[in-house]
């Protein structure tokens, strides 16, 4: 089984590299964005011709949520054109695409977990480009799994956990938003779920949701990070109105995982347990 992974230097790409040694029956090929540029169709085709993958995990994305509001073309190039290119090349080479998407495709006005059938209504450029990328894949490819996730963190790359720990070394006090609710997801748990999809042999293509179980606020997430790391800091919960950002965040973006659990028999850790386990 040959699996190509794009975005190898991102936190999901690095998490996939970290777990790859446990899967001797899969031949992984990891490519960073400088080695495989998903916005360059010829570049993708050259690499597909070289390694002839059975599966491609597209972990490459433009994820700078606030910057996307001003870097619209850049976000669109990677998240929309890049996704379209990957779908078309996968189609040409009879490869199955596993594409990672986001909770930001929803507007956050629900009060119960979002299912795959819920109407999307992204509020910012990042969410809009990710949704458009999903639609390009659906239009150009039959053999695909789109996996939406949320609040991704790990010991790799840049993420909320690492930012909190860094700030706690520089400050005595921190204010963190307490009225945005979602689910922190460890990138290694997501990586393992993606590999399980590959090994399942399932042909039930489509959109799936994956995050850890449970939910919290960014304040609750920060509090647990500091508790686990025995960090003493004056942590204050604040409303979103006191911490304005260029991009609108969903107020509620908990994902329903019933579909992915049923199809792939995946057992999912509670977010706080995962935080402790990998810390």
Q: Which residues are catalytic?
A: 126
| C-alpha to C-alpha distance for 4 and 48, rounded to whole angstroms | 8
d(CA 91, CA 205): 14
| Distance of alpha carbon 279 from alpha carbon 201, whole angstroms | 32
For the chain, the straight-line distance linking the first and the last C-alpha, in angstroms and rounded, comes to: 31
Among candidate residues 28, 30, 26, the one with its CA nearest the CA of residue 1: 26
CA distances from 39 to 34, 36, 82 (A): 11, 9, 5
User: Which of 57, 72, 81, 79 shows the shortest CA–CA distance to 7?
Assistant: 57
Q: Which tokens in the block code for residue 157?
A: 């790359």
The Cα–Cα gap between 176 and 239 comes to 8
In this structure, are residues 253 and 209 in contact, taking their beta carbons and an 8 Å threshold? no
């Amino acid at each position: 089984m040959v699996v190509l992974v794009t975005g190898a230097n991102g936190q999901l790409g690095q998490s996939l590299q970290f777990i790859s040694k446990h899967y001797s029956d899969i031949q992984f090929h990891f490519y960073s964005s400088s080695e495989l540029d998903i916005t360059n169709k010829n570049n993708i085709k050259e690499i597909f011709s070289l390694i002839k993958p059975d599966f491609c995990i597209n972990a490459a994305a433009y994820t700078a949520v606030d910057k996307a509001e001003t870097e619209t073309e850049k976000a669109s190039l990677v998240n929309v054109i890049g996704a379209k290119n990957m779908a078309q090349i996968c189609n040409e080479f009879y490869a199955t695409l596993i594409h990672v998407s986001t909770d930001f495709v929803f507007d956050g006005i629900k009060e119960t977990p979002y299912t795959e059938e819920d109407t999307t209504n992204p509020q910012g450029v990042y969410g809009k480009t990710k949704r458009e990328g999903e639609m390009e894949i659906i239009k150009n490819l039959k053999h695909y799994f789109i996996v939406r996730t949320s609040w991704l963190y790990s010991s790799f790359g840049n993420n909320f956990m690492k930012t909190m720990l860094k700030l706690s070394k520089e400050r005595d006090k921190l204010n963190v938003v307490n009225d945005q609710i979602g689910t922190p997801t460890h990138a290694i748990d997501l990586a393992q779920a993606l590999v399980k999809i590959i090994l399942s042999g399932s042909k039930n293509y489509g959109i799936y949701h994956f995050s850890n179980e449970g939910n919290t606020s960014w304040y609750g997430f920060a509090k647990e990070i500091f508790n686990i790391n025995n960090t003493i800091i004056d942590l204050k919960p604040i409303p979103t109105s006191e911490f304005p950002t260029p991009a609108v965040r969903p107020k509620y973006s908990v994902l329903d995982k019933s579909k992915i659990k049923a199809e792939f028999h995946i057992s999912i850790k509670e977010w706080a347990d995962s935080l402790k386990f990998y810390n």
